[in-house]
Structure 1
Amino acid sequence: MAVHRANDTIAAIATAPGTGGIGIIRISGPEALTLLRQLFVSHKPHSHFTSHQLYYGTVMNRAGQVLDEALAVYMRAPHTYTREDVVELQCHGSYLVLQEILRTVFERGARPADPGEFTKRAFLAGRIDLTRAEAVVDLLQAQTEKGALLAVNQLRGALFAELEQIRDHLLSILAVLEVAIDFPDEDAEIFAAQQIQDQLQTHLIGPLERLIAMAEQGKIVREGVKVVITGQPNVGKSSLLNTLLQEERALVTPLPGTTRDTIEERIAIRGIPLHLVDTAGIRLHHDPVEALGIERARQKVEQADLVLFLVDAQVGWRETDEELYRSLGNKPHVIVVNKRDLATKEQIASIFSRFSGKKVVAISAKQQEGIDELQEAVYQAIIGDGAELCERMTCAPNTRHRSILHKTLTACRGFEAAMAMAAPVDLLAVEVQSALDHLGDIVGLTTPDDVLDVVFSQFCIGK
């Protein structure tokens, strides 16, 4: 296995696979400019490449054969993404052409970049902290405008700024403790317990709890939730799917049992990605194919984060509805009374009266009535008490951050408990230092190499 060195010159295709108008090859490292001079012949004669200026010319292989016409830009360190010399070749978007040019780059001494290696070099060079590096992945994988906005804010340093404020307060407390350790006879004057207690609650525990809550909501915004539509046959599940998608995705007929397998699509409601699943109607049956669909429907319900339980308003609540509803157990759900355009007010009110305190919405999927109310009910069921926080949050700690924030919070509470027990000052300092070390793991000050490898392995090659 080849040993990769930090000073290797690396190269990769930076644009998405497939055919496109433009394809970009990115080269970074100490030999980037040398490779450009070997590969690229400018149509305008010149003696050197000016940094951050585009040049038009041809890309040549080692035999002198023209591979493509292209634009080339040389960016001199440290004013680049990686803080190394960087070259980008903007070629035609033919995958075959790009591969041939990349092969020539490798023949001249560069090596293939690992996934995320350009961004990892930016991190190791100190251009970005680890939270900003992870935001690059979030931005590339964002499924909604809300998710992209959170990623951009984090890329601009919103999370880092929050953590830096917490770190500053921890450092100020640690400085007081260390002075008290150095001058034990004067610690009563130096160590103002009430002032530190106030600082602990206002500037450490409170902000940490808020960031952890943001992490919970951020996971939903980034990854979304699985929402399963279930109910008896012919209650309008497929019609609801089509209405939410605003396209005829599922076959709709008056015959019960039309849907015999699950249909899965993705939509977004108020910035929350939903993995929407339409299932076969659940009923007693004899058809073996339908039986398979019903069993799969039950499995999808068990895996769901939220269930939309459909009821036919015109038919009313039946014993079979009751049996199916009880099978949900404690699964989060919204009761959807469909076909309200065909039912009387008394029929609808009768169903509503059964579910006092539950989330119940009356709609007509066919006529697209009540869909806004349903979307709001789904949003509230997913976000819950964190709706206001989700609307105004500017950053979203990920799962790794959340775990470390919990450890930091535990250390802060350990410090608080130790203070209440009048523990020795040196023991108090240990708790504060522990909290500081955990925060260092988030931004990359003390993060182990194996964790860094996992983080950057999530990137695509070329980024």
Structure 2
Amino acid sequence: MLDHTIAAISTSLSASGIGIVRISGDEAIAIADRLFQSHKKKQLKDQKTHTLHYGHIVDPKEDEIVDEVLVSIMRGPDTYTKEDIIEINGHGGVIVMQRILQLVLTHGATLAEPGEFTKRAFLNGRLDLSGAEAVIDIINAKTNLGLKSSMHQLKGAVYYHVEEVRREILELMAHIEASIDYPEYDIEELSDDHVMGKLERIAKGIHKMIQSSEVGKMIREGIKTAIVGKPNVGKSSLLNALLKEDRAIVTDIAGTTRDVLEEYMNLLGIPVRIMDTAGIRQTDDEVEKIGVTKSKAVVEDADLVIMMLDASQKITKEDRYILDLVVDKQVIVLLNKIDLSMEIKEDDIRALIEGVTVIPTSVVDERGLEELQKVIKDMFLLGDIAMDDGLYITNVRHKVSLERALKSVEAVKASIQMGMPEDCWSIDLKNAYGDLGEITGDHVSDDLIEEIFSQFCLGK
């Protein structure tokens, strides 16, 4: 229901320079007028939209000034929610923000649920569902690439690509319905060859979006990168060098890292979710055994494995065991400690894993790290992505809907090839149309809407 006015603190609840209490709904301005005192004795209801007003928030019951504020007035429909919005900009203390919010709630507003402001923007037609989901991606973006992708979607990139395909499906459905309702007319455009041509084009458009999801997943979540190797080869030192901070404990004692340490980093513009794992080896230490088991699980799930070897020692059984674990993964082998005498050559590794990328490194003096970053960039083709040049599906829900839609389109093609009647085609086309509508929000359940917006923070 949109018949009540909502409010929430829209900034971080912490000691900060500025804090904002946002109010949205028909009563937003009236509620603010009950609490706001302008030094010019002005009432907010008499002021123009999109203006800023200086004054104080006063507790009417106690006749006490709570905070010195600037109040923004924004009248619908030219607002984020398409409703009247008031934003009270005060000092960013925890107590003062909570006090102002409590006064707003006491004088007529209802506490907003997580994501309710954006939910209203969707329900009021300002954003489609994919655009609304892009808002949370903007908030959670970890690199400029992720931010650009989310902004591209907020501007409607997903919506326009999906709607283009839906229009083609709708046009085809209309021709089929006309053919069924008026069989006396011979609709030339509905020949099997013509329909198959349209279906091929529709399937190609959906398939292209599905293909983009692999890159999209990495843009949103980062490239899952596992650093593996036996104990004391320099894994934690590599993590620290890439992050440029002492994040992992580094000692000469084998088995120091007992658990998986995970960090996000911006590597030449590429989002990387990098994981430092426990050294993989045979051990009697029960805690270390758990760490080794976790390391193996991380390797299995990783998009990229950085396998580290101590180049100052000959290849051991443990090294060979780990190389066998990663042979079927995207892998880069680092021959670390080249500042010491080298006992392993690059060709030794290539003889074990054909075509593998091998980089001689010395983490202590950062030799080879720049080459490592360039190799990762080239390997995943992410560094030169231009968001204006194409669409990247970053949302798993969107990908699932696209896959269902493609399956329905393929079912129509199969029906035509089997000589089935036109009304059978229509059923699968309607399913495809509905699946794509789940992405934009045209065909979506209330439960799904609630689930999506529950992932948002309060005040957004």
Q: TM-score, normalised by structure 2?
A: 0.91
Equivalent in the alignment of 1:303: 298
The more displaced of 119-128 and 173-182 is 173-182
> Counterparts of 1:33-44 in structure 2 under 5 Å?
33-44=29-40
- In structure 2, the CA distance between the partners of 1:250 and 1:451, relative to structure 1 (3 Å rule), is closer
Secondary structure in structure 1 of the residue aligned to 2:363: coil
Secondary structure in structure 1 of the residue aligned to 2:88: strand
- Using the TM superposition, give the Cα deviation of residue 349 of structure 1 relative to its aligned residue in structure 2, in angstroms: 3.2
CA distance, structure 1, for counterparts of residue 414 and residue 156 of structure 2: 32
Equivalent in the alignment of 1:118: 117
- In structure 2, the CA distance between the partners of 1:424 and 1:197, relative to structure 1 (3 Å rule), is same
CA distance, structure 1, for counterparts of residue 420 and residue 73 of structure 2: 59
CA distance, structure 1, for counterparts of residue 352 and residue 392 of structure 2: 41
Secondary structure in structure 2 of the residue aligned to 1:184: coil
CA contact (8 A) 1:120 1:456 kept: yes
CA contact (8 A) 1:147 1:271 kept: no
Secondary structure in structure 1 of the residue aligned to 2:37: strand
Secondary structure in structure 2 of the residue aligned to 1:186: coil
- Using the TM superposition, give the Cα deviation of residue 456 of structure 1 relative to its aligned residue in structure 2, in angstroms: 0.5
Counterpart among 353, 356, 359 of residue 357 in structure 2? 359
Q: Name stretches of at least 5 consecutive residues in structure 1 with no aligned partner.
A: none
- Using the TM superposition, give the Cα deviation of residue 459 of structure 1 relative to its aligned residue in structure 2, in angstroms: 0.6
Q: Are 1:460 and 2:457 an aligned pair?
A: yes
- Using the TM superposition, give the Cα deviation of residue 236 of structure 1 relative to its aligned residue in structure 2, in angstroms: 1.8
- In structure 2, the CA distance between the partners of 1:189 and 1:265, relative to structure 1 (3 Å rule), is closer
CA contact (8 A) 2:280 2:295 kept: no
Give per-residue Cα distances to partners, 1:411-432, cap 9 Å, x unaligned: 1111111222232222222222
Counterpart among 395, 400, 407 of residue 403 in structure 1? 400
Secondary structure in structure 2 of the residue aligned to 1:92: strand
CA distance, structure 1, for counterparts of residue 282 and residue 411 of structure 2: 57
- In structure 2, the CA distance between the partners of 1:233 and 1:431, relative to structure 1 (3 Å rule), is closer
Counterpart among 417, 423, 429 of residue 426 in structure 1? 423
Equivalent in the alignment of 1:23: 19
- In structure 2, the CA distance between the partners of 1:207 and 1:345, relative to structure 1 (3 Å rule), is farther
Equivalent in the alignment of 1:443: 440
CA contact (8 A) 2:255 2:288 kept: no
CA distance, structure 2, for counterparts of residue 74 and residue 260 of structure 1: 55
- Using the TM superposition, give the Cα deviation of residue 348 of structure 1 relative to its aligned residue in structure 2, in angstroms: 3.6
- Using the TM superposition, give the Cα deviation of residue 284 of structure 1 relative to its aligned residue in structure 2, in angstroms: 4.5
CA distance, structure 1, for counterparts of residue 348 and residue 399 of structure 2: 45
Give per-residue Cα distances to partners, 1:201-240, cap 9 Å, x unaligned: 22x1111111112223212221224422222233222221
Structure 1 residue identity aligned to 2:203: I
Q: Are 1:53 and 2:51 an aligned pair?
A: yes
CA RMSD in angstroms comes to 2.5
CA distance, structure 2, for counterparts of residue 439 and residue 265 of structure 1: 35
> Counterparts of 1:87-126 in structure 2 under 5 Å?
87-126=86-125
Equivalent in the alignment of 1:248: 246
Equivalent in the alignment of 1:75: 74
Structure 2 residue identity aligned to 1:418: S
CA distance, structure 2, for counterparts of residue 387 and residue 97 of structure 1: 44
* Identity percentage of aligned residues: 37
Give per-residue Cα distances to partners, 1:333-362, cap 9 Å, x unaligned: 332211234345973433333322223332
Equivalent in the alignment of 2:8: 12
Structure 2 residue identity aligned to 1:76: R
Secondary structure in structure 2 of the residue aligned to 1:174: helix
Q: Are 1:279 and 2:277 an aligned pair?
A: yes
- Using the TM superposition, give the Cα deviation of residue 120 of structure 1 relative to its aligned residue in structure 2, in angstroms: 0.7
- In structure 2, the CA distance between the partners of 1:182 and 1:285, relative to structure 1 (3 Å rule), is closer
The more displaced of 324-333 and 212-221 is 324-333
CA distance, structure 1, for counterparts of residue 452 and residue 424 of structure 2: 33
Equivalent in the alignment of 1:153: 152
- Using the TM superposition, give the Cα deviation of residue 380 of structure 1 relative to its aligned residue in structure 2, in angstroms: 5.6
Equivalent in the alignment of 2:372: 374
Structure 1 residue identity aligned to 2:67: D
Equivalent in the alignment of 2:170: 171
Give per-residue Cα distances to partners, 1:9-38, cap 9 Å, x unaligned: 110001112111110110011111111111
- Using the TM superposition, give the Cα deviation of residue 402 of structure 1 relative to its aligned residue in structure 2, in angstroms: 0.9
CA distance, structure 2, for counterparts of residue 367 and residue 347 of structure 1: 20
CA contact (8 A) 1:212 1:397 kept: no
Structure 2 residue identity aligned to 1:302: A
Q: Are 1:293 and 2:288 an aligned pair?
A: yes
CA contact (8 A) 1:365 1:371 kept: yes
CA contact (8 A) 1:33 1:87 kept: yes
- Using the TM superposition, give the Cα deviation of residue 39 of structure 1 relative to its aligned residue in structure 2, in angstroms: 0.9
Secondary structure in structure 1 of the residue aligned to 2:185: helix
Secondary structure in structure 2 of the residue aligned to 1:430: helix
Q: Name stretches of at least 5 consecutive residues in structure 2 with no aligned partner.
A: none
CA contact (8 A) 2:260 2:294 kept: no
Secondary structure in structure 2 of the residue aligned to 1:194: helix
CA contact (8 A) 2:142 2:264 kept: no
CA contact (8 A) 1:340 1:348 kept: no
CA contact (8 A) 1:73 1:87 kept: yes
Equivalent in the alignment of 1:215: 213
Q: TM-score, normalised by structure 1?
A: 0.90
Structure 2 residue identity aligned to 1:134: E
CA contact (8 A) 1:408 1:438 kept: yes
